[in-house]
Structure 1
Amino acid sequence: ERAIVPILSYDYRSLEDDGDAARSYMTSDYKREYDKLFAVLEQNAPGTRTVVDVEVVASGIVRSGEDRVEVLVFVDRPTTNKQSSEPVVYKDQVRVQLVKVDDEWLVDCLITTPGASCE
């Protein structure tokens, strides 16, 4: 839950800091995937003035192993932008795979699209 908020949240006024905070919870492999998406956000968010504040509603472990765990997280994503100053709340299910790297659990895959897979 601690990783989901910084990974899915961002504010067009603080994108660099938001990206750095998110990356601190990721494996090096997943950072490369995230950076592709984040480059699009950096191009579009300032023009649309988008702010996304994620709130975790609930979570549960789907699978676990000695060095890997998959968690299902339910989130609310209140979102504002240039066209909507009142937050529009999106309700999402997010699947997160974490792997143990040294003594730290890091996000190795995050899926927000139903039916998508990490493989």
Structure 2
Amino acid sequence: MSEDRKADQDATADPDATAEQDATAEQEAAADQSDTAENVDDAEADPAGGETTSADGHADTAVDETAEVPRRRGVRQTLRTQAAALLLAAALVASAGLTAWLYLERYRPDQQTDAAAEQVALDAATSGTVALLSYSPESLDQDFAAAKARLTGDFLSYYTQFTEQIVTPAAREKSVKTAASVVRAAVSDIQPDSAEVLVFINQTTTSQENPDGAFAASSVKVRLTKVDGNWLIDSFDPV
């Protein structure tokens, strides 16, 4: 009975202390609830926690790999282009080499125009020059026929007209006689079907007016064409 009375006295004696203790307990409980709520909010805001860094790392790796694919394709494309260019260049070189070989072995002029062929062209040019520049009033028809047998093309037509209209009347009326001789001749160009010869000549001309004759030295460029295997003169130009 004395203890109950003492307890009642203690409670009655300090009501403020009891109120303070109750208030402190309520504040601590509220603080614990606030901390718990913050922890929940943080967990909801970052549910993955430390996994964020890992996810970022995987994303960066994926971006790098995605960027690497076009680079690799570009490198392969460049290599293919360079390889194609090299193959084309090699093909062109091979083609040029084959063309050169064919020319040298089969179509080279000096393969088809040896020394003997060159001499034939030289003889045709010199004999044709003498025939063109030599004639006599007593044998005009024969002389002109011999010359025309060595000519071809437009030059043959020109020579025929010139001798008929100019040379024949003058030679018969004034007894003009000419004689030509070749001093020197050289082949300047020769192909399988054409040749060019430089001919140096001396020519003497006599007539009724000048029985002692007139001497002239000249040079001509004789162009020949091969017709049916024979070298014929197709141009005759003084130089």
- What TM-score, normalized by structure 1, do the two folds share? 0.89
Is 2:199 the partner of 1:36? no
Tell me the residue number matched to 1:117. Answer: none
Q: Secondary structure at the match of 1:97?
A: strand
Runs of 4+ in 1 over 6 A off after TM superposition: none
Unaligned runs of 5+ in 2: 1-125
Which string of whole-angstrom CA distances, capped at 9 and with x for unpartnered residues, describes residues 21-48 of structure 1? 1011111432101112112101211111
Q: RMSD in angstroms over aligned alpha carbons?
A: 1.2
The whole-number CA distance in structure 1 between the counterparts of 2:206 and 2:182 is: 18
Is 2:133 the partner of 1:8? yes
Is 2:230 the partner of 1:104? yes
Which string of whole-angstrom CA distances, capped at 9 and with x for unpartnered residues, describes residues 28-87 of structure 1? 432101112112101211111110000110001122212111111010011101111112
The whole-number CA distance in structure 2 between the counterparts of 1:64 and 1:28 is: 19
More relative contact order, 1 or 2 (CA 8 Å, 6+ apart): 1
Q: Secondary structure at the match of 1:83?
A: coil
Unaligned runs of 5+ in 1: 115-119
Tell me the residue number matched to 2:181. Answer: 55
The whole-number CA distance in structure 1 between the counterparts of 2:195 and 2:162 is: 23
User: How much identity, in percent, do the aligned residues show?
Assistant: 28
- Report which of the two structures shows the higher radius of gyration computed on alpha carbons: 2
Q: Secondary structure at the match of 1:70?
A: strand
Name the one with the larger strand percent: 1
- Within 5 Å, give how 1:40-119 maps onto structure 2: 40-112=166-238, 114=239
Name the one with the larger helix percent: 2
